[in-house]
Amino acid sequence: SFCLRTSPRLLCAATQQKNTGQSLEEDQSQSQNEQKVEPSTAEKLLAEEKAKLEEQLKEVTEKYKRALADAENVRQRSQKLVEEAKLYGIQSFCKDLLEVADILEKATESVPKEEIKDENPHLKSLYEGLVMTETQIQKVFKKHGLLRLNPVGAKFDPYEHEALFHTPVEGQEPGTIALVSKIGYKLHGRTLRPALVGVVKDA
């Protein structure tokens, strides 16, 4: 009879303990759920911070790339200026020498060809010396990239020639050069002095 009397109580106590255990489990589960909610907020903040840092890194990287490109452009421009200085630094000096070449050319042209003979040894030696000097100066010019422009028969080019006059010439195409009054020169492909020319025009 004791067992029977106490059994309901034990059952009640067990039920209470079970319910209490369930309540504890529910509280723990709720607490864990709350903890799960809190990290999601932290993760969101971290994700935002990560996005900001990635954006900043992207911006810094772009600036770095632009700075590298600018530096390379400056280097290439500087190198080009140095190369041009090497090529065209003698431009002014060459222009002065062209006058000397012109005088030599006129001197050789002015000597009467019929007088260049053994009977006139002094004149012959002088003429040959002038020709040799003129040839040598042209070799020096060529060595340094300075070339003559003697464009008889060529098409008129305003970048290389300067037209002194236009005249009709039978048998020649209009726009071509009929006469070169003064030889021109180019230094490494750049016109240093245009050739002074007469250009053929329509009759």
Q: What is the mean pLDDT of the chain?
A: 84
Torsion angle defined by CA atoms of residues 14, 16, 17 and 19, in that order, rounded to the nearest 10 degrees: 120
Distance CA 59, CA 177 (A): 61
Classified by CATH at the fold level, domain 47-144 comes out as Hemagglutinin Ectodomain; Chain B (3.90.20)
* Residue-range domain boundaries for the chain: 47-144, 146-202
Q: How far is residue 19 CA from its own chain's centroid?
A: 84
Residue 163 contacts residue 130 (beta carbons within 8 Å): no
Distance CA 127, CA 135 (A): 12
Distance CA 192, CA 176 (A): 21
Sign of CA dihedral 141, 147, 152, 156: negative
What local confidence, expressed as pLDDT, does residue 27 receive?
Answer: 56
Angle at 174 between CA 170 and CA 177, to 5 degrees: 90
Structure tokens at 1: 């009879």
- Three-class secondary structure of residue 146 per DSSP: strand
Residue 38 CB burial class (10 angstroms; 0-12, 13-18, ≥19): exposed
What local confidence, expressed as pLDDT, does residue 32 receive?
Answer: 54
pLDDT at 61 over 70: yes
Q: Is 0.85 surpassed by the pTM of this model? A: no
What local confidence, expressed as pLDDT, does residue 8 receive?
Answer: 52
Pick from 23-32, 140-149, 163-172: least confident: 23-32
pLDDT at 6 over 70: no
Structure tokens at 112: 């009467």
- CATH, domain range 146-202: 2.30.22.10
Backbone angles phi, psi at 22, to 5 degrees: -65, -40
Name the H helices within the chain: 2-88, 91-110, 121-143
Look at residues 75, 95, 83 and name the one whose alpha carbon lies nearest to residue 187: 95
Total residues belonging to the chain: 203
